[in-house]
Amino acid sequence: MAENGTPKVAVGVDGSATAERALGWAASEAARRGWPLHVVHALAMPLVMSVYAGPTRFPPSEEITEQGQRVLSRAEAHVRELEPDLVVETVLALEEPAKALLKRTGSADLLVAGSRGLGAARSALESSVSVRLAARAECPVVVVPESEASVVTAPRRIVVGVDGSDYSRSALDFALREAARTEGGSVVVVHGWRVPLPFDSGELAQSGWSPPNDLLDQRSQEMVSDMLALVQDEETRHVGVSVLRLDTDPADALVDTGATADMIVVGSRGRGSVRGLLLGSVSQGVLHRATVPVTVLPRAIRKR
């Protein structure tokens, strides 16, 4: 993973409308933070195994290179229209999209991707690149969904999911600090639970049994209070915080609550490199269904 002393916002582009929206969001965020913007276009040249030379990547043809440069030129021109004073660097990478972005970002950076269209080959999961980035990146990953909205909104109202884990503690800390960057910023802390029943719920109800909702709600209240006490400090204490505890599926709670927010923040449970299969199920559910940008946090991040 890349690492250097100057943090940056990195974004992948491929000429698609979704990538262009992600580019606009990344440019706005880079300007807001005062960071440079790195725009990456991946050519995804095939890697060939050779007995004599080892793994060798095919060089791009002149036509492919020119096409890639045109994508980057259009992307840079678009950024100049949006943020004329922003420092922009364009990168033409030979690797496939996820690897190209992961290779060029470190823990101090922010990585932005569109939810669709970042690869030439579409799998059953069209957002598989975004899921892979969210599972493997060392830095926060912002996934910008398809949308008809043309205005990029700074993350003023942020919804964050918590479950008491270290992952969600990082997410809560990040959400509070992002809200503190914007005047009037606020955070909605969401904890959704759903009791898995080993037997038919109808038969259980007929027998007079019901889930201990009062106890679960009490434990939820204690957990959220403890987490807020741990992460709030002088920098974030002024941020308006509300808490929503629901007896429902966590992903449903976050997607529904976040529909009117500017951003949803979740923690990642990813530890491996198998194309996001080890990303937490809640995080994946939110990524696939959210209609607003979603930020996925690694377990431990630097405070910004």
pLDDT at 19 > cutoff 80: yes
Distance, CA of 217 to CA of 186 (rounded, Å): 23
For residues 184-188, average pLDDT: 94
* Cβ-based neighbours of 139, under 8 Å, separated by 6 or more: 105, 106, 107, 108, 109, 110, 111, 298, 301
Structure tokens, 90: 């364009």
Side-chain half-sphere of 237: how many Cα atoms within 13 Å? Answer: 4
List for the chain the helix, strand, coil content (%; round to 5).
Answer: 35, 20, 45
Please give the model's pTM, rounded to 2 decimal places. Answer: 0.83
**How high is the pLDDT of residue 276?**
39
pLDDT at 175 > cutoff 90: yes
Q: How confident is the model at residue 225 (pLDDT cuts 50, 70, 90)?
A: confident
**How high is the pLDDT of residue 265?**
96
pLDDT at 208 > cutoff 80: no
Neighbours of 158 (CB within 10 A): 26
Asked whether the beta carbons of 294 and 264 are under 8 A apart, the reply is: yes
For residues 170-184, average pLDDT: 92
Distance, CA of 304 to CA of 6 (rounded, Å): 12
The partner residues of 142 in beta bridges, in order of sequence, read: 112, 295
Neighbours of 100 (CB within 10 A): 22
DSSP one-letter string for 113-137: EESS-SSSS--SSTTHHHHHHHHH-
Burial class (CB in 10 A: 0-12, 13-18, 19+), 153: middle
Structure tokens, 79: 């950024």
Supply the CATH classification number for the domain 153-304.
Answer: 3.40.50.620
Q: Which CATH class is domain 1-49+58-148?
A: alpha beta
**How high is the pLDDT of residue 288?**
85
For residues 73-95, average pLDDT: 96
Task: Note the pLDDT tens digit of each residue in 124-162.
Answer: 334 567 888 888 899 999 999 887 665 667 889 999 999
Q: How confident is the model at residue 303 (pLDDT cuts 50, 70, 90)?
A: low
For residues 82-104, average pLDDT: 94
Q: For 220-227, which contacts have Cβ atoms below 8 Å and span 24 or more sequence positions?
A: 220/191, 220/193, 220/245, 221/245, 223/162, 223/163, 223/164, 223/191, 224/162, 224/189, 224/191, 226/164, 227/162, 227/164, 227/168, 227/169, 227/172, 227/189
Kindly report the average pLDDT of the chain as a whole number: 82
Which range among 12-16, 126-130, 292-296 shows the weakest confidence by mean pLDDT?
126-130
**How high is the pLDDT of residue 55?**
75
Q: Quick one: which H or E segment has residue 284?
A: helix 281-289
CA distances from 36 to 57, 87, 109, 213 (A): 29, 5, 10, 48
pLDDT at 228 > cutoff 70: yes
Q: Residues 197, 200, 201, 204: what is their CA dihedral angle, to the nearest 10 degrees?
A: -100
* Cβ-based neighbours of 124, under 8 Å, separated by 6 or more: none
Distance, CA of 295 to CA of 267 (rounded, Å): 8
Tell me whether strands 186-192 and 157-161 are parallel, antiparallel or unpaired.
parallel
Domain ranges of the chain: 1-49+58-148, 153-304
CA 76, 81, 82, 85 torsion-angle sign: positive
pLDDT at 40 > cutoff 90: yes
Structure tokens, 213: 């909702």
Asked, colleague to colleague, whether 1-49+58-148 and 153-304 share their fold, the answer is yes
Asked whether the beta carbons of 40 and 100 are under 8 A apart, the reply is: yes
Which range among 28-42, 79-93, 150-164, 272-286 shows the weakest confidence by mean pLDDT?
272-286
Q: How confident is the model at residue 301 (pLDDT cuts 50, 70, 90)?
A: low
**How high is the pLDDT of residue 268?**
81
pLDDT at 274 > cutoff 80: no
Neighbours of 64 (CB within 10 A): 15
